[in-house]
Structure 1
Amino acid sequence: MPKLHVILASTRPGRAGEPIADWFVSRAREHGAFDVELLDLADIALPMMDEPNHPRLRRYEHQHTKDWSATINAADAVVMVTPEYNYGYPAPLKNAIDYLHFEWQHKPVAFVSYGGVAAGTRAVQQLKQVVTTLKMFPLFEAVSIPFHTQFIDDEGVLQANDVMEGAASAMLDELVLVEESLRGRRAAVREAEAAGKH
């Protein structure tokens, strides 16, 4: 079964991203097409980029980078759960992306965003520019949650509406198709690397 890594971008105490990510992880597991793992950047706690070599070289000196590399390398597809901060996405997410290069390549990526009236969509537009540089394939399908606090109940649980549920289903269905279509390319690149040709 292909692996889907769901990255929780916000590290702010009291963040709304936690119940949103928990809902999406549960939804993705119910979908049944992926082995789903949540990667919480607050728990992973990568320092600001501290590797002396360019990520393309993969000459990592620190154990936290080696661990992050192995985690992302194992993913077949990625979903980023992100808020919008001042028309952009959180610095911890950019930092986590920039640690690596090869490990992201030829993987589909989709977005669950949240915020005010724009529902985090401006942050996603910025992210699409970044991930395509890494040869990732961002999906059109997305879950965009406007005025997200109205959907989080007194127990801190997201109560998704029909629009959010439908968007999650469409996004997961498309992730299945794109992941499958890219699987051969990822395998070929890794074979070439193992043979010393890449």
Structure 2
Amino acid sequence: MSFRLLVLYGSYRSDRMGIRLVQFVVDGLRAKGQEVELVDAKAVGLPMLDRMYKEYKKGEAPAAMEELAGKIRAADGFVFVTGEYNWGLQPGLKNLTDHFLEEWFWRPAAIASYSAGRLSGARAATAWHGTLSEMGMVVVSSTLAVGPIAQTLSAEGKPVGDAGKALEHAFPRFADDLLWWVEATKAQHARKPPPY
């Protein structure tokens, strides 16, 4: 069964390392037969949050915001690929997600984190878990944590060395966990509308 998944990424840096993990996740999910689209916060280019999508009158939201709202509503699940900035959330990704709220509700999300160091963005992943839950998503328990990213994935997003082998070993559980929740939430949506 194929599902529509969005992989969201938020680095604005000129020499982005996290794009390697994005490519690995996108390739892995596509290999499992899923329809996957990357949403790159830098490419979408939303301004710093002034008004949320829901605060615009119908038809008055900026075009990029309107287009992304439709993609979020049409998705069956999400993967958030996040770096760790000073023990916290990546600002570009946080800004992108904060433009929306109801659009995220009642669907699962998974978190893949990375860093240049050995902690693999784990503190950012922990912060995202609470944030995404507050935004109405079911956050799956399986995560991917990659670090040091330059020693785990090539520039093309291909696993290298022992760390790359460990990542390849961890990915099937991560993907299967997400896809199980995607299937479960789709079935529940078909059976009964969300309570709000």
> How far does residue 56 in structure 1 lie from its aligned partner after superposition?
5.4
8 Å contact kept, 2:53–2:66: no
Q: Does 1:30 align with 2:31?
A: yes
Q: Is the 8 A contact 1:49 1:99 kept in 2?
A: yes
Q: Deviation string for 1:7-43 (max 9, x for gaps)?
A: 11212111101122112111111122x2111111111
Match of 1:143 in 2: 144
| Aligned positions of 1:47-58 closer than 5 A | 47-51=47-51
- Residues 158 and 65 of structure 1: is their aligned pair in 2 closer, same or farther, counting only changes over 3 Å? closer
Task: Give 1:55 shift.
Answer: 5.1
- Residue type at the aligned position of 1:42: K
Aligned residue number for residue 157 of structure 1: 156
Please state if 1:93 is matched with 2:96: no
Aligned to 1:80: 80
How many Å separate the matches in 1 of 2:128 and 2:145? 14
CA contact 2:10–2:82 (8 Å) conserved in 1: yes
Q: Which amino acid aligns with 1:122?
A: R
TM-score by length of structure 2 reads 0.87
SS for the counterpart of 1:139 is strand
For 2:22, the aligned partner's letter is A
Deviations 1:161-197 (A, max 9, x none): 221112211111111111111114445447x8xxxxx
* Structure 1 unpaired stretches of 5+: 193-197
Shift of 1:50: 2.8
The DSSP-based 3-state class of the residue aligned with 2:24 is helix
Aligned-pair CA distance for 1:57: 5.8
**Contact 1:106 1:185 (8 Å CA) reproduced:** no
CA shift, 1:121, in A, is: 0.9
Tell me which residue corresponds to 1:7. Answer: 8
* Structure 2 residues without counterparts, runs of 5 or longer: none
- Segment of structure 1 superposing worse, 177-186 or 59-68: 59-68
TM-score between the two structures when normalised by the length of structure 1 = 0.86
Matches within 5 A, 1:108-187: 108-115=108-115, 116-153=117-154, 156-160=155-159, 161-187=164-190
- Residue 141 of structure 2 aligns to a residue whose secondary structure is coil
Letter paired with 1:50: D
